[in-house]
């Protein structure tokens, strides 16, 4: 077994997406530079880097250093705030707040690992959009119109809603009926792996700290969205970036 075959076998056994991408690029580089183009890497090992919304700043390893190329720049994870700016008109229409926005929390700055820090940034504020960039691509989120004054208790908000954004679409999902509007809203954790949740105990989207698995649970029970919008493959997702903005 030569070095390429050994590397391909290693890639097959790696489950982490970023590591697999880097190892695949290394294998291709070895073939091109050392061995030449006479052999082709197993196509089953190739990973599509053209995911609409998935991007990281620099996929690299120490020896040799490899950076993936041709990753779209218009991504939530690495676009700064242009991703939001391009969709601001729709966000304003959804919230009925049309004087711009201010960024009050961004895990690219704060890291997304502290419950206390997260709550301190949103405390006493209202008209908040929560954006969650995921490893698989879609951006999930929710909107809270009420003042956030407590953690460990749900901020009941009849005007709250959730949304899903892809490169090609923006979809908003309201609470189903008046009964749910009385009890649903934003919940912020005091401690633990989770940061916040939209919905209620029956149907919700729960967002964990960056790098950890989050989950979507029975959203159709609480929100006006069918299973087609949040299929079973999306029940669990890994958080890559969280941004909270306040509409003005």
Q: What's the first-to-final CA gap in the chain, in angstroms? A: 63
pLDDT at residue 11 above 60?
no
Q: So what's the pLDDT on residue 177?
A: 80
H/E/C letters for each residue in 186-222?
Answer: EEECCCCCEEEEEECCCCEEEEECCCCEEEEECHHHC
Q: So what's the pLDDT on residue 229?
A: 58
Q: What is the largest CA-CA distance in the chain?
A: 67
- Alpha carbons 148 and 57: distance in angstroms, whole number: 32
Per residue in 86-112, pLDDT tens?
999 999 999 999 999 999 999 999 999
pLDDT at residue 73 above 80?
no
Report which of residues 125 and 72 the model is more confident about: 125
**Residue in 138, 137, 107, 168 with CA at minimum distance from that of residue 17:** 137
Q: Cβ(165)–Cβ(139) under 8 Å?
A: yes
Per residue in 187-238, pLDDT tens?
999 999 999 999 988 889 999 999 898 998 888 888 888 655 565 556 888 8
Q: So what's the pLDDT on residue 232?
A: 53
Q: So what's the pLDDT on residue 225?
A: 80
Q: Cβ(217)–Cβ(202) under 8 Å?
A: no
Compute the average pLDDT of residues 119-139: 94
Q: So what's the pLDDT on residue 121?
A: 97
Compute the average pLDDT of residues 72-99: 84
| Angle (CA) 97 201 218, round 5° | 85
Per residue in 21-67, pLDDT tens?
565 556 555 544 444 443 333 333 333 333 333 333 333 333 333 33
**Which conformational region is residue 111 in: left (phi greater than 0), alpha (psi within -120 to 50 degrees), or beta?**
left
Compute the average pLDDT of residues 167-171: 89
Mean pLDDT (the chain, rounded): 76
């Amino acid at each position: 077994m030569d070095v390429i075959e050994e590397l391909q076998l290693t890639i097959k056994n790696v489950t982490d997406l970023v590591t697999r991408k880097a190892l695949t690029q290394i294998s291709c580089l070895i073939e091109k530079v050392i061995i030449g183009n006479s052999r082709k890497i197993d196509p089953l090992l190739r990973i599509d880097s053209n995911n609409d919304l998935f991007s990281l700043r620099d996929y690299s390893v120490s020896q040799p250093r490899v950076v993936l190329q041709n990753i779209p720049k218009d991504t939530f994870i690495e676009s700064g705030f242009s991703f939001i700016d391009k969709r601001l008109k729709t966000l304003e229409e959804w919230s009925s707040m049309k004087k711009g926005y201010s960024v009050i929390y961004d895990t690219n700055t704060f890291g997304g690992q502290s419950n206390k820090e997260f709550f301190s940034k949103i405390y006493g504020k209202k008209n908040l959009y929560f954006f969650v960039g995921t490893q698989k691509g879609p951006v999930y989120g929710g909107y809270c119109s009420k003042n956030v004054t407590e953690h460990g208790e749900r901020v009941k908000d009849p005007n709250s809603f959730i949304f899903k954004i892809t490169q090609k679409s923006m979809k908003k999902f309201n609470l189903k009926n008046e009964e749910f509007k009385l009890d649903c809203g934003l919940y912020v954790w005091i401690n633990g792996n989770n940061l916040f949740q939209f919905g209620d105990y029956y149907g919700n989207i729960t967002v964990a700290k960056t790098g950890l698995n989050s989950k979507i649970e029975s959203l159709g029970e609480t929100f006006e969205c069918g299973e087609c919008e949040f299929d079973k493959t999306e029940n669990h997702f890994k958080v890559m970036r969280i941004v909270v903005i306040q509409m003005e």
